[in-house]
Every structure is written in structure tokens, then in C-alpha cells.
Amino acid sequence: WKKRAVTLVLARRVGGGRASSGQKGGESEPRRPRPAGERSRASSARGPAPAARTPPPMDGTNAPPPQFAGPEAPRDGDSGGGGSAPEDETNGLAKAHGLLVLLRHGQSMWNRCPKNPDRLWRYAGSTDVALSETGIWEALEAGERLSSIPLDVVFSSNLSRATETAMIGLSKHKALRTPIVLNRNGDVDAGLRAMGKLTCEEVLPIICADQLNERNFGELQGMPSTEHKTRYTSEFLSKVRNDFQTAFPGEHGESTEDVYNRVVPYYKRCIVPLLKQGQNVLVCSHGFAIRALIKHLDGMSVTEFNEEMKKEKKDPENCKLLAATGVPLLYRYDHMSENGLPEKIGAIDRDYELHQTCAPY
């Protein structure tokens, strides 16, 4: 009888049904589907459904985790981001003004596969490599994470894997605006003029700029991963990746400093004015371009940057430079710090970001 009692309790907890006395192994008895009217009456009798439970925070405290989902998508006639949107008390993004969203493209066909790290991969760099099937799914997942955040304009590199990530992801946005590439020279004004008769309620403009392209990996660009350590020492490969001022070998090889010197001036000239106007901006780019921006936004010194790069593989939970594929990173410009830098909100999906950090670059 004790076993029978346990079976009844488990059946009720798991399936909400009853265990039939004639069934073996405590399987639940199939329940007869109720007519629609009866289901409605039963639902009314039970009252409203309980609110969804907030998952416990990762650090083990009792405080609820911060909500990064952003305010509701704009209603018809609202361009999103601008105007006088009401304060959203549930997620702390007051008015949703001046929100910067950094997004690394989804996995490309040359990226290392985290689930199969021994599979052949190549440094893509400035080579225009398409998204892989996994990268397309990552773009869709990123779109889900961004779907409730009003956006006014999107910036992308001129490499297709970044532009594709933005366009695929934004197909999931609740505002239902069509993302359209309006300029490939990084010119915001020309891009907005190119909208013609299209309105902001219909179109989400995308401005593509070479300044946001990925770091050029010089001689290693396109080289099979099996050849890296046969041509270069592990110490050199680690230094060329992690040291801010060391360039990849080869005529066009760049250092992160080179990337910084083209990304940050463009950001200050073309993106910051929009953020200061209260617009919400999505920047879809690449690993080293985003790391360069994080260095600027977080006010890091060169020494701090180099130390954070070393943490990325060994101590990702404490690394400030994580740039995982498909994980949006948020900054807000309506709350500026004393040194004039925006407030860092953080990654929308931190757990997924940590899982993805096994990509090599």
C-alpha cells in the first residue's frame, strides 16, 4: 500500500492525473478530453493562472536577476526609442532612451564548433564568409532576445555574416519593421535619405560600414587550424591574439589597436550623436571590433585589456571582454557615469554567453 500511495502522489504531481488500480508501474490513466465549454468553466473556477516563477540568480543570492528584455515593442505609429515612452519599472530601462546594443554575428562556416572543437576551422577575419546553419539559428535566437527592445537604427559591418545576423534576427522583432540595408559607405544621413517615401514605422534602416569589419588576420586568415601550430609557436599565437598592440603577421595583418583606431572614431562620429538624441542603436559586428568597443566603453587601459583577454578562456565568468556569437550586450546612455561613459547593463543571456566562449577568436 505504501508503494501505491507514492505512485498516486507522483502521478498527481507530474501529470495531474490519477493512477489506475489496474495499471502496472504506476502509469497515469489517460484522461478523457473535456469539451471546450467545460474546459472554460473549469479554468474560471480555478481562477487566473499563477505568475511565471523567476529563475534563481546564478550567484546563489535570493535577489531576482536583472531583467534585460527591454520595454515593449513600439505600437502602431510609434517609431520606437524616441519620443516620450513611459518608464518601464519592471526592467529598469527608464524610457528606453539611448540604448546601445552590441551583437556579434552568428557562427560562420569557418568558425570553430564548440561542440566539436577538433573539427577543422579557419580564421575568417576580413574574408566574407557566410553564416553556418548553427549561425542562422543563433541569429534567430538573438532576434528573440531583442524582440521587445525598440530600435531606431542598425549599424553593421560590410561582411555578410554580420548583416545576415542583423536581418535574420530582426525578422523576429515585435515591431514588424522591415530591416533594409540603405547605405554601405557608413553614411547615416545618406542612408536615411535613401528611405525615400518609406517611413520609420515601416522600415528599420541598416547602415553598413567597413570601419566595423573584423580584424584582418594576415597570413593566418583562411589558414586551416591544423597548420597554425606547425608554423607558429603556441606562445606567439597566444600573444598575437591577446596583446592589444601585436599585429597578425603578413602585409595586411592588424592588431586590436588597429581595429580600435578605425572602430572607435567611427562610433564617436556616427553612432554617439544618435545615442545622445535618445535613439536606440544596434551594432552588429565581429569579435575583435566589439572587444575594441568594449575597451572604449568600459574605459580600460591597454594593460587591463590584455589581462581581460587572458581571462576569456581561463576565467570567463570574470572576463569583461566576452563577445559570444548571438548574445546581445547592452549599454544605456541616459545614465552616464562621472567619467562620461555609459552604464553597462550586461549580456541578455549570460549563461549562454559563458557556454559560447570556447570559440577561438
Catalytic residue among 105, 141, 164, 173: 105
Active site residue 214: yes
The CA distance from 311 to 317, in Å, is 9
DSSP class of residue 177 equals P
Name every residue whose Cβ is closer than 8 Å to that of residue 152 and which is 6 or more positions away in sequence: 79, 80, 81, 82, 200, 204, 274, 279, 280, 281
Catalytic residue among 214, 308, 312, 353: 214
Helix axis angle, 287-297 to 302-314, nearest 10°: 130
Give every strand in the sheet of 281-285, ordered side by side.
Answer: 178-183, 203-209, 153-157, 281-285, 99-104, 329-336, 342-347
- Would you mind telling me the total number of residues written for the chain in this entry? 361
The CA distance from 156 to 217, in Å, is 20
Active site residue 355: no
Between CA 73 and CA 318, with CA 331 as vertex, the angle to 5 degrees is: 125
Residue 343 falls in which region: left (phi positive, over 0), alpha (psi -120 to 50) or beta: beta
* Cell numbers that stand for 298 in this block: 568600459
The CA distance from 291 to 5, in Å, is 58
**Residues identified as active-site:** 105, 214
